[in-house]
Amino acid sequence: MHLFLAAAAVAALSFAASAGHAQTIYPIDRAEILAGARFDFKVEFPGLAEPSNLAVTVNGEDYLKLFGKRAAFIEREDGQDQSALLLRDVSLPRPGLYKIRASDGMRAREVSWTVYDTGPRRAKNVILFIGDGMSPAHRIAARLLAKGIAEGKSFGKLAMDDMPHMALVATAGTDSIITDSANSASAYATGHKSAVNAMGVYADRTASPLDDPKVENITKLVQRKLHMAVGIVTNTEIEDATPAAMLAHTRRRAEYDRIVEQFFAVKPDVIMGGGMANFLPRSAEGSRRRDETDFMARFRDAGYAMATTAAEMTSLADAPATNKLLGLFTLGNMDGVLDRKFLKGGTVGKFPQQPDLTEQVSAALKVLSRNDNGFFLMVESGLIDKYTHLLDMERAVYDTIMLDNAVKLARDWARARGDDTLILVLADHTHPIGLVGTIDDDMASVPNVPLRERIGVYARAGFPNYPAPDAEGYPPRVDVSRRLAIFSASLPDHYETFRPKLDKPNDPTVPGKSPGTFVANDKYKDAPGAVFRFGNLPAMIKADVHSGEDVILTAMGPGSDRVHGQIDNTEVFRVIAEALGLGRNE
Ligand SMILES: [Zn+2]
């Protein structure tokens, strides 16, 4: 109750503040806009406005002169006492500082935009690797397992670490210091900040998730300006936030049916991942669509080669005539590499022929490089995030190794071509996880004590005893006697077993008695050595949550020299735009 009252009070306060405040202008203050990139211009007035009293100027002149067309006046947005001006699909070809002032006759607001151009094109192709939720602890654990270590010295580097340029990237959004995968991927794809759950738009005040002011994204830009090919590759549902944000425009990432429609409208040359359920008509088995449209049929009719297994994908990619490829390998998310290759857990029994991310990338590179104009390819290792939410660190670390294998493959591919490809590797946000030591079943000095007492820290952590990795960098077993202790600082109530889950991914919570709450999953209560851990998050949160630290970006290839120091997530877009010369004045 107190919480509710506090929230209501805060809401009232912020409403008062915005009512006293003047209009909201999109793009927002301090937006950095690529010359020639398209966007929707919107002014939201706090109350009812009289059209004859409105004045909107850019650098002191009427906006009509700059944009060449008049905005639509919406008298009562969403039927409420609030007016707006909306002008879709404009662009600013000339670089410079723009001051936009909007007045309703009583109140005025001014924002500034910086429009930037670019030099000539330097990269033929761009590959953007995103480890969803990949945090420093994931990377270090992947290095320990895949490369090995003795006397404090690693036996090798991850491919993603072995790059000439590195930066820290800030991830906050327009509404919060903590970002989700939608607005963070959107910042990379558009160069504009957005809000949690939103992609390719500024989240406005209206209820519709599909009417928000849009900003143009990288896939549209490279298609429109350079006739490049586009590939979207993931191991999550293809409609999930990261892959969707490369091309879609919606304020609500859960709009999967609409996102599939936007995939069809954009027609990326390569689309690969899970998430077939929203491509199937409602009446088909396994469908999660709410209508009868058969997007498998529509993509096939549009000339796509269709793959649902690894073998089909590989043979279709090998066929020289294939230049459009749709690979959907599961109904929902695909399985992580630990389940696919070793444990056979998760949904591997149901979908035994899923490809590895490296095989997907290899197939994508074959198909995309058939376009002489080059390509933009986004590759996501998306389950790093989902496993970390579930506090399943072994699965998250194995999928980090898989991402690194995909990076190595792309690096070798680019090197063989004379390094004409900009390769970027980064996360979209962090999780608050840390590598604190090892868990040592055989800690001799403390016999017969709960597993918690066998967490080795400092000198006692020593080194883990995973078996030597296979050729792909995966130790064949995770249930070893001295294993990595990686803990999250954001916890729901749950039982900590201190052991890897060999049957299926960890499932720390179940719904509680009061609606919308979660409690510890009793499944793990009696596991030997398990302890109950009080959570430190509200009961409505079912799992670990994202954190707001900067993420690591490493880069190589033409244009990567812009990557250094500490940058904002919107600048990742600018690195790509510069490398491709996308803002070159024509
Ligand atoms: Zn997440």
- Model confidence pLDDT, tens digit, residues 168-210: 999 999 999 999 999 999 999 999 999 999 999 999 999 999 9
Give mean pLDDT, residues 350-362. Answer: 97
Distance (angstroms) between ligand 1 centre and the Cα of 182 equals 10
Give mean pLDDT, residues 474-498. Answer: 97
**What string of DSSP letters covers 186-240?**
HHHHHSS---TT-BSB---SSS-TT-SPBB--HHHHHHHHH--EEEEEEEEETTS
Distance (angstroms) between ligand 1 centre and the Cα of 13 equals 30
CB 580 within 8 A of CB 191: no
Distance (angstroms) between ligand 1 centre and the Cα of 482 equals 28
Distance (angstroms) between ligand 1 centre and the Cα of 229 equals 28
Distance (angstroms) between ligand 1 centre and the Cα of 563 equals 25
Instruction: Using alpha carbons, select from 534, 430, 401, 393 the residue that is nearest to residue 181.
Output: 430
Task: Report residue 96's pLDDT band, with 50, 70 and 90 as the boundaries.
Answer: very high
Instruction: Using alpha carbons, select from 72, 28, 20 the residue that is nearest to residue 46.
Output: 20
Distance (angstroms) between ligand 1 centre and the Cα of 428 equals 9
Distance (angstroms) between ligand 1 centre and the Cα of 205 equals 25
SS3 (DSSP) at 510: strand
CA 27 to chain centre: 22
CB 569 within 8 A of CB 169: yes
Distance (angstroms) between ligand 1 centre and the Cα of 400 equals 15
pLDDT, position 23: 85
The answer on pLDDT for 486 being more than 50 is yes
Instruction: Using alpha carbons, select from 127, 37, 9 the residue that is nearest to residue 377.
Output: 127
Distance (angstroms) between ligand 1 centre and the Cα of 365 equals 27
The answer on pLDDT for 585 being more than 70 is no
Count the Cβ atoms, other than its own, within 10 Å of residue 344: 14
DSSP state of 436: E
Distance (angstroms) between ligand 1 centre and the Cα of 491 equals 14
DSSP state of 28: P
Distance (angstroms) between ligand 1 centre and the Cα of 429 equals 8
pLDDT, position 445: 65
Task: Report residue 449's pLDDT band, with 50, 70 and 90 as the boundaries.
Answer: confident
Distance (angstroms) between ligand 1 centre and the Cα of 555 equals 23
Distance (angstroms) between ligand 1 centre and the Cα of 384 equals 9
- For the stretch 258-317, pLDDT in tens is 999 999 999 999 999 999 999 999 999 999 999 999 999 999 999 999 999 999 999 999
SS3 (DSSP) at 250: strand
Q: How far apart are CA 398 and CA 473, in angstroms?
A: 9
Distance (angstroms) between ligand 1 centre and the Cα of 380 equals 13
Distance (angstroms) between ligand 1 centre and the Cα of 544 equals 9
Distance (angstroms) between ligand 1 centre and the Cα of 230 equals 25
Q: How far apart are CA 418 and CA 411, in angstroms?
A: 11
The predicted model scores a pTM of 0.95
The answer on pLDDT for 447 being more than 80 is no
b/e per residue 398-424 (b: at least 16 CB within 10 A): bbbbbbbbbbbbbbebbeeeebebbbb
Distance (angstroms) between ligand 1 centre and the Cα of 128 equals 19
Distance (angstroms) between ligand 1 centre and the Cα of 119 equals 36
CB 42 within 8 A of CB 26: yes
Distance (angstroms) between ligand 1 centre and the Cα of 463 equals 30
The answer on pLDDT for 517 being more than 60 is yes
The answer on pLDDT for 444 being more than 80 is no
Structure tokens at 282: 């409602």
Distance (angstroms) between ligand 1 centre and the Cα of 133 equals 6
Distance (angstroms) between ligand 1 centre and the Cα of 572 equals 20
Output the 3-class SS for 24-86.
EEECCCCEEEECCCEEEEEEECCCCCCHHHCEEEECCEEHHHHHCCCCEEECCHHHCCCCEEE
- Give me the amino acid identity at 555: A
Residue given tokens 């630990």 in the structure block? 338
SS3 (DSSP) at 89: strand
Dihedral of the alpha carbons of 579, 581, 582, 586, in degrees to the nearest 10: 180
Taking phi over 0 as left and psi of -120 to 50 as alpha, with beta for the rest, 267 belongs to left
Distance (angstroms) between ligand 1 centre and the Cα of 386 equals 6
Distance (angstroms) between ligand 1 centre and the Cα of 431 equals 8
Task: Report residue 14's pLDDT band, with 50, 70 and 90 as the boundaries.
Answer: very low
Task: Report residue 450's pLDDT band, with 50, 70 and 90 as the boundaries.
Answer: confident
Distance (angstroms) between ligand 1 centre and the Cα of 173 equals 15
**What string of DSSP letters covers 443-463?**
-TTSTT--GGGGEE-GGGG--
DSSP state of 523: G
Distance (angstroms) between ligand 1 centre and the Cα of 382 equals 9
The pLDDT > 90 percentage for the chain reads 93
Distance (angstroms) between ligand 1 centre and the Cα of 42 equals 30
Distance (angstroms) between ligand 1 centre and the Cα of 52 equals 47
Distance (angstroms) between ligand 1 centre and the Cα of 430 equals 9
Q: What are the residues facing 192 on neighbouring strands?
A: none
Distance (angstroms) between ligand 1 centre and the Cα of 132 equals 7
- For the stretch 493-507, pLDDT in tens is 999 999 999 999 999
Distance (angstroms) between ligand 1 centre and the Cα of 346 equals 19
Distance (angstroms) between ligand 1 centre and the Cα of 385 equals 5
Residue given tokens 């509680």 in the structure block? 512
Distance (angstroms) between ligand 1 centre and the Cα of 395 equals 15
Distance (angstroms) between ligand 1 centre and the Cα of 130 equals 13
Residue 532 burial (CB < 10 Å; 0-12/13-18/19+)? Answer: exposed
Mean pLDDT value across the chain: 95
Distance (angstroms) between ligand 1 centre and the Cα of 180 equals 6
- Residue 306 phi/psi, 5-degree rounding, is -115, 130
Distance (angstroms) between ligand 1 centre and the Cα of 551 equals 14
Give mean pLDDT, residues 136-150. Answer: 98
Q: How many CA atoms lie within 13 A of 3 on its CB side?
A: 3
Distance (angstroms) between ligand 1 centre and the Cα of 536 equals 18
Distance (angstroms) between ligand 1 centre and the Cα of 446 equals 37
Distance (angstroms) between ligand 1 centre and the Cα of 545 equals 7
The answer on pLDDT for 16 being more than 50 is no
Distance (angstroms) between ligand 1 centre and the Cα of 480 equals 28
Distance (angstroms) between ligand 1 centre and the Cα of 543 equals 10
Question: Which residues lie below 8 Å from residue 10, measured CB to CB, with a gap of 6+?
Answer: none
Report CA-CA distances (Å) from 189 to 217, 248, 342, 377, 487. Answer: 5, 10, 35, 11, 31
